[in-house]
Amino acid sequence: MEDKRGNKLVEFSLDHPKLVTGLMVLVTLIMAAFAAVPSIWPEKFPSLNSIKIDTDPENMLRKDEPVRVFHDKMKKVMSIHDIVVLGVVNEKNPKGVFNIKSLKNIYELTQYAKKLDGVIEVDLIAPSTVDNIEQGGLGTVKFEWLMPQPPKTEKDAIAVRDKAKRIPFLYGTLVSEDGRAICLYIPIRSKNISYKIYSQLMKKIDTLKGNDKYYITGLPVAEDTFGVEMFRQMAISAPTAMIIIFLLLMYFFRKFALVISPMIVAMVSAIMTMSLLIIMGKTVHIMSSMIPIFIMPIAVLDSIHILSEFFDRYQETKDRRSTAINVMNTLFTPMLYTSLTTAAGFASLALTPIPPVQVFGLFVAFGVMMAWIWTVTFIPASVMFIPPKSLENYGAKAASQEGEEESDHSPLTVLLNRIGQFTYHRAGLIMVVVALLVVIAIYGITKININDNPTKWFTKSHPIRVADFVLNKHFGGTYMAYLLLEPPKQKFYPEKYADELIRETKNLPIAKTVAKKLKEVARSAKTKADFLEQCRKYASEQTDNAPDNLFDAWSSFADLIDAEKQKTEIFKHPKALKYIELLQKELLKTGIVGKSNSVVDIVKTVHRELFLGKQKYFTIPKTPNAVAQCLITFQGGHRPNDLWHFVTPNYRKGNIWVQLKSGDNKDMVAVANTIDKFMKKNPPPFNLQHKWFGLTYINVIWQGKMVTGMLQAFLGSFLVVLLMMTLLFRSAIWGLLSMIPLTVTIGAIYGIIGLVGKDYDMPIAVLSSLSLGLAVDYAIHFLARSRMLYAIHKTWANTAGPVFGEPARAITRNVIVVGVGFLPLVLAPLVPYKTVGIFISSILITAGVGTLLILPAMITLLEKYVFPKTKPCCMVCDFATMAVAIISAVAVVAVNTHQFLAIGWNILVPYSVSIIVVLLIIAFIASRNEQCKWVNENSQTEETQ
């Protein structure tokens, strides 16, 4: 199992410690400089990439992802902006905020918000910026600002509320349904200034007097604020974890000079990776910000094995160099393979369809390999810096107590020794318990709830979470999604259409001229809209220049063209509006949607006010013309353009503004499903098609991608690791064995997630790959060392003891150091960091326990298969191993093909199965080859000794 090249590398490092250290420092400094300098002075180095920070979850999807393209396009078409929601609540006053003082504050705040850079003033919704339409005396309809000035009397203050209550567009949106609170909706030019706007508003709020409470929320604020706090958090939690790991290492190994070196390796690996990330122009995203936190535990993992071995063995020779060589001889191969498998596990994230996750996976993989390089070079080199004198008593206390390894009395050694015996004598019991746990875990997994909500990335006490809770209690909902309706695109036949129009105009005195023109237009027009626009221009010119005797004829032609155009204006048609009305009712029934707004609300309100404000006229008028005339009346107000948030000017697209009380993806999915079902059951007029957009909906899409993407990426990396393990141990059973702790760990953790009801969200999805990386490490170390020791001790009964000596100690120390080191993350105010903290710790503990209990128990039970008396001369002769390798290799290729080339499983499965069958037959024939000799195990091991 030992690697001669490895020896050379280690010996070189031991002989040239200064050179190795200098090289490491130099490379790190150069990389850091290339990343830092252009970030600090971007204008001086325009050709180099500076740090780019991106906190937008939208970027979880590729820029050209259809849902994003549609979202961006519709935002523009419907002039919809990202919104900062600012709620004002007064719990003290029985009339809520509808009192002189509060309304004055709200007025002042509105005036302030209007002036902020990046705020789109014309679309701001506040009492002083929206229109009220009402009766203004007998037979008079009145448009006025809802609150042109702060009211002077308490009666006027209440009037603001009562007026708003009559306007469906405002009630439940601007004024709360309980009539006590007001919400301002502040549209902003770009989502990534929302934290700035948030802070500016907060500052202004501090200057306002009174007992009003102010709450700011909305997805853009949550997302942007998360980004800001994320960096703050990164600066606190990564160093904290490092300090705790350092203290624990000090406790175990006592020698500062030795303990500091793993910390240096971890830091160097993290710095190099992050620098490379910046140098390559990748953005620092929520995901990539976690790269250092992932690299650090993995980087110290291998070093702890070395230190642990060094600590246990130093007293044998009391020579730095020979101890280091000995230690590295034992550990070089397992370390190489653990690093390779971990890197492969993370690199497989490149298979997910989520760009930030791809970047994350590849860069963590890079960091892991960096950590490996510096672990096998710098750690031995660092040993040479320590004067032999100061090492004189290193590990002596432990060594003197044990004398022989078996008679160690330190609590850890005693405990491990007992565990070792337990696994040997109670192997059956352990396996029964494991089987039980697996069943429970499977049950838990079926209970898993896939859900995410960026607002819930904050802890419950965070102002944004509090605001979210309070405002969604008072109002229709602060999460916006938009339901767009439009007719399907129909093929247009210009000639046919021209003939139709020619027939309609044949009685006009200008029929011949018109027919000629129509045919001409038919040749150039591509769409109906284009056709009609050309005709409109022509008709308008002709009418203006018509001689008196033909004026009427040209006018009627112009009228005809105009009427034709209006036929295409679907969303003036009462039938279409009625359907929107039904959809809005259906949305409310879900209980998740608190409120929805559409053109229907405008039409009905105007219609009612035109008819003396009587409630029985709160209806959709009967003809398209009547609808059009209600709308033109509405456009006589202060905010005529509000209409274009709900319909396009050609009335071909209708938009329902949906306010959800919850931003949970599962709730958005439930709403979307309700509408799908409803529309299937109640076919819409004009064959209307529907599509969702808006931030709340986009989050659903990337969540979906994340879940399936992560699952496939995980499957891919699982197979890669299995293949690598099988090849490394040149044995199917060993390959499968090494996957067991990892499988149990993931099963257990997902099972627990399902059982406690924690949502399966982005951080958890990513953590699966971390568990793959860490759990397989322990298994490799355990199995590789077991194999080596078995070669010496010949039976498992004799091997188990030594395995539970120094190798088990190294694993246990690892679990404790890294596991405890990440617990402080639990104190973070951001939920994803808490999740990472809890889960890194639980992954390590589960994987550690799994490795130390399940593996020895299984080896005990399966000894004769695990350590067969005979071994094939080469792997080709071992059919079982070949079979596992073939199946996993083909499966890896299939999973990758599916991801990259988007080939469906229905094609891939039959192909893969047939390829596997063919290869298996070949392997079977090969294994029966006469040259295949099964040799005695002993002669094999002697060879490698």
Nearer to other proteins by C-beta: 71 or 809? 71
Question: Which H/E stretch holds residue 308?
Answer: helix 291-317
Nearer to other proteins by C-beta: 449 or 641? 641
Nearer to other proteins by C-beta: 519 or 638? 638
- Cβ 238 to other proteins shortest distance, Å: 44
Distance CA 129, CA 112 (A): 13
Nearer to other proteins by C-beta: 108 or 177? 108
φ and ψ at residue 901, rounded to 5 degrees: -100, 0
- Cβ 144 to other proteins shortest distance, Å: 6
- Cβ 143 to other proteins shortest distance, Å: 5
Residue among 405, 407, 467, 487 at smallest CA distance from 86: 467
CB within 8 Å of 694: residues ≥ 6 apart: 71, 80, 480, 481, 482, 658
- Cβ 483 to other proteins shortest distance, Å: 21
Nearer to other proteins by C-beta: 650 or 938? 650
CB within 8 Å of 766: residues ≥ 6 apart: 287, 290, 349, 357, 360, 710
- Cβ 553 to other proteins shortest distance, Å: 14
Distance CA 291, CA 272 (A): 11
Distance CA 407, CA 801 (A): 11
- Cβ 125 to other proteins shortest distance, Å: 15
Amino acid, res. 677: K
Residues 257 and 385 sit within 8 Å (Cβ to Cβ): yes
Distance CA 192, CA 711 (A): 31
Nearer to other proteins by C-beta: 215 or 646? 646
Strand-pair partners of 214: 88
Distance CA 654, CA 671 (A): 18
CB atoms within 10 A of CB 586: 19
- Cβ 90 to other proteins shortest distance, Å: 25
Nearer to other proteins by C-beta: 551 or 678? 551
Nearer to other proteins by C-beta: 79 or 326? 79
- Cβ 567 to other proteins shortest distance, Å: 10
Looking up tokens 């990426």, which residue turns up? 713
What's the farthest any 2 CA atoms get from each other in the chain?
A: 123
- Cβ 81 to other proteins shortest distance, Å: 12
Nearer to other proteins by C-beta: 66 or 636? 636
Residue 152 burial by CB count (10 A; 0-12/13-18/19+): exposed, middle or buried? exposed
Q: Which residues bind other proteins (CB under 8 A)?
A: 76-77, 79, 111, 115, 121-122, 131, 136-137, 139-145, 148-149, 536, 540, 544, 551, 558-559, 562-563, 565-566, 569, 572, 607, 610-611, 621, 623-630, 632-633, 635-638, 640-641, 643-644, 648-650
Looking up tokens 């050209």, which residue turns up? 64
Nearer to other proteins by C-beta: 621 or 741? 621
- What value, to the nearest 5°, has the Cα angle with vertex 622 and ends 621 and 623? 105
- Cβ 92 to other proteins shortest distance, Å: 30
- One DSSP character per residue, 327-375 reads HHHHHHHHHHHHHHHHHHHHHGGGGSS-HHHHHHHHHHHHHHHHHHHHH
Distance CA 817, CA 774 (A): 13
Nearer to other proteins by C-beta: 139 or 904? 139
- Cβ 70 to other proteins shortest distance, Å: 16
- Cβ 647 to other proteins shortest distance, Å: 12
- Cβ 555 to other proteins shortest distance, Å: 8
- What value, to the nearest 5°, has the Cα angle with vertex 267 and ends 261 and 271? 145
Distance CA 219, CA 882 (A): 52
Amino acid, res. 328: M
- Cβ 533 to other proteins shortest distance, Å: 9
CB atoms within 10 A of CB 612: 12
Nearer to other proteins by C-beta: 536 or 793? 536
Residues 839 and 749 sit within 8 Å (Cβ to Cβ): yes
- Cβ 607 to other proteins shortest distance, Å: 8
Nearer to other proteins by C-beta: 621 or 802? 621
Residue among 715, 806, 768, 916 at smallest CA distance from 307: 806
Distance of CA 701 to the CA centre of its chain: 10
Q: 188 by DSSP, 3-state: which?
A: strand
φ and ψ at residue 886, rounded to 5 degrees: -65, -50
- Cβ 153 to other proteins shortest distance, Å: 16
Nearer to other proteins by C-beta: 359 or 627? 627
Distance CA 299, CA 375 (A): 8
Nearer to other proteins by C-beta: 544 or 676? 544
Residues 594 and 475 sit within 8 Å (Cβ to Cβ): yes
Tokens of 663: 């931003």
- Cβ 119 to other proteins shortest distance, Å: 11
Nearer to other proteins by C-beta: 422 or 686? 686
Distance CA 281, CA 275 (A): 10
Q: 180 by DSSP, 3-state: which?
A: coil
Nearer to other proteins by C-beta: 570 or 742? 570
Distance CA 880, CA 871 (A): 12
Q: Are strands 654-660 and 52-53 parallel, antiparallel or unpaired?
A: unpaired
Residues 740 and 850 sit within 8 Å (Cβ to Cβ): yes
- DSSP structure class, residue 487: P
